[in-house]
């Protein structure tokens, strides 16, 4: 499994988080998963990144950009831009 400098803030029970996590697994990309329900500072970080919204997942990339609740196509496109896939 390839290790990428990607952090995903989310919750295991949330459908969009499970979908993004499944895509990373299918693409054999290891990311740093942070559960916002177990880490209050992570929940605050999500709100900060999203300008006050609590939407998850928030996926932060090594280039300093992020995607919030991305579709699989949008996430794949970003991974291609970063030459991860």
Give 17-67 pLDDT, tens digit per residue. Answer: 999 999 999 999 999 999 999 999 999 999 999 999 999 999 999 999 999
pLDDT at 70: 98
pLDDT at 2: 61
Residue 82 in tokens: 């970063």
Residue range(s) defining the domain that contains residue 49: 2-81
pLDDT at 4: 74
pLDDT at 77: 98
Pairing of strands 66-68, 29-35: unpaired
CATH code (residue 51): 3.40.30.10
The domain tally of the chain equals 1
Q: Strands of the chain (E only): list them.
A: 2-10, 29-35, 58-60, 66-68
- Output the pTM of the full model: 0.93
């Amino acid at each position: 499994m390839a290790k990428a400098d990607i952090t995903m803030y989310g919750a295991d029970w949330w459908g969009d988080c499970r979908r993004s996590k499944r895509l990373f697994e299918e693409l054999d990309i290891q990311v740093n998963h942070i559960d916002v329900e177990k880490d209050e500072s992570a929940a605050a970080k999500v709100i900060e990144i999203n300008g006050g919204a609590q939407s998850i997942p928030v996926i932060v990339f090594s280039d300093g950009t992020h995607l919030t609740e991305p579709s699989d196509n949008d996430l794949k496109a970003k991974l291609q831009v970063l030459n991860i896939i």
